[in-house]
Amino acid sequence: MKAICAHLRIFFSEFVRVSLLHPGQAAFFARTVLWQGNAARQRARMAREGVHVPPIAIFSITNGCNLRLEG
């Protein structure tokens, strides 16, 4: 559990640093958190109805593609 807390602390400290440098990315992060919260509530509602919907989140950690990806 300590490792998870340490990773979250690093993540949020980096978020603050990047947000100060690039405010548009902070807005994107805030919207993403709201979307994930809505999706979690929707998954919970569907689970109560007997439908399992797996949580999936994809984050791009770069601003552009370097075109060197395989596949």
Regarding pTM above 0.85, the answer is no
State the number of CA atoms in the 13 A half-sphere of 8 facing the CB: 5
pLDDT digits (tens, 9 = 90+) for 45-56: 988 999 887 776
Q: Which amino acid is at 31?
A: R
Q: Which amino acid is at 32?
A: T
Beta strands in the chain (DSSP E): none
pLDDT digits (tens, 9 = 90+) for 4-49: 567 667 777 777 887 888 887 778 877 877 787 788 888 889 889 9
DSSP state of 50: T
